[in-house]
Homo-oligomer: A and B are copies of this chain.
Amino acid sequence: MPAAPVAELGRRAVAASRQLAQATTGAKDAALHAAAELLARRSDEVLAANAEDVSAAESSGAAATVVDRLRLSPARIESMCEGLRKVAALADPVGEVVDGWVRPNGLRISRVRVPLGVVGIIYENRPNVTSDAAGLCLKAGNAAMLRGSSSALNSNVAVAACLREGAAKAGLPEDCVVLVEDTSRSSAVEFMQLRGVIDCLVPRGGPSLIASVLENATVPYVIDGDGNCHVYVDASADLDMAISIVANAKTQRPSVCNAAESLLVHRDVAERFLPRVVDALAGVELVGDEASRRIVGSIGPASDDDFGREFLDLKMSVAVVDDLDAAIDHIRRYGSGHTEAIVTSDLRSAERFAHEVDAAAVMINASTRFTDGEEFGFGAEIGISTQKLHARGPMGLRELTTVKYVVHGEGQIRS
């Protein structure tokens, strides 16, 4: 079957979304389970398709990290299946009455949670996004319109087929999940401009993808942006707790957006704290301001750029600050609005930090790594929004919905 044009896929997704919006939770869950079963049963075919993608990437000289993201394994496929089953087990957000009230003229107003419609996902070379994103979209009653990278096309086609057939087995339209197989640059731009088709676009990828969305998209979108996360160690901090939190935030998984990239230390505890934390961060390249380097000689010099950088690696910037205000100012200047943490025993410092730092999540005496849909209890996430509209922080099923006002009257007219 030849790949359908983007506009045609969009029309099919819109038609499917209308049926899906009316689907019962039972049908949606059955579709997710059927898709998981198909994916497990066809593991070998999916792996064979993936092997084509991987060998093409390798022979084109792709970086090892790129190939690693692309590569599926039996374990990764099983985890994709498990992901679909977990989403099936989550509560259905659709139909929730968010609130409601009665007006003096007797109109009864309720605000009801409904699917967005068609959710567009544009992503890079991880084929697991195909099932993870489509599963979440489907559970929230949305058709998923997927546009992955050309390097993962064979894998994505194989995975998407399982989701489409799973939907059909549950009596839902196959076009609940459509995959754009035209991976040209012009199709990406066309995708981002499907106004009237895509109700919400979620880009999943690096800075160049985000930049392209900002430049080209005319559909509404939610940006899953950088995480230049700080841990601020206050003068009153329990230093053992601070070491544990800094080490966890930096090293537990350095490649993700909620890892800490920068350490701020109150000057009153810098002499005692910095040498200890440097030991705890063995293996992490540290670059710091002059004050920190006077205390620990092994800290390299930090440029202004280093403080604004999301390293996503075993590297961290360090600065000694005069007080809480200086810490908050530093975060305002360099932070990306993702997650900021304070370690403190002082109530006023905790409250001021929580109140004055402008970020999706503020952690008081906890690791930045907790900003995550699973850790927040959402069961799964489609991304972490660093913008302020629609969704902020981890985006779960609820963030894949919108609301509708339903107003009941008995003939009221406006005077």
Contacts and interface: CB of A to CB of B under 8 A. Distances in A.
B364 A407 contact: yes
28 contacts: A18-B332, A21-B358, A101-B377, A103-B375, A107-B366, A107-B375, A114-B358, A116-B388, A116-B389, A117-B358, A199-B388, A199-B389, A214-B218, A220-B389, A245-B413, A248-B413, A252-B413, A252-B415, A350-B408, A364-B406, A364-B407, A364-B409, A365-B408, A365-B412, A367-B413, A370-B412, A376-B405, A392-B405
A365 B409 contact: yes
B409 A375 contact: no
A130 B241 CA distance: 50
Nearest to A412: B366
A362 interface: yes
Contact of A388 (B195, B220, B355, B367): B220
Given A356-B22, A414-B367, A388 B405 contact: no
A101 B375 CA distance: 12
Interface of A: 18, 21-22, 101, 103, 107, 109, 114, 116-117, 195, 199-200, 214-215, 218, 220, 222, 238, 241, 244-245, 247-249, 252, 332, 350, 354-356, 358-367, 369-371, 375-377, 387-390, 392-393, 402-415
Secondary structure at the A interface, as helix, strand, loop or mixed, is mixed
Given A109-B376, A214-B195, A214-B218, A407 B366 contact: yes
Given A406-B362, A407-B362, A411-B238, A387 B220 contact: yes
A158 to B, nearest CB: 31
Taken together, the copies of this chain in the complex come to 2
Contacts of A200: 388-389
Given A214-B218, A364-B407, A392-B403, 13 more contacts: A22-B355, A101-B377, A107-B366, A109-B377, A116-B389, A220-B389, A365-B408, A366-B407, A366-B411, A366-B413, A370-B414, A388-B402, A389-B390
A415 B244 CA distance: 12
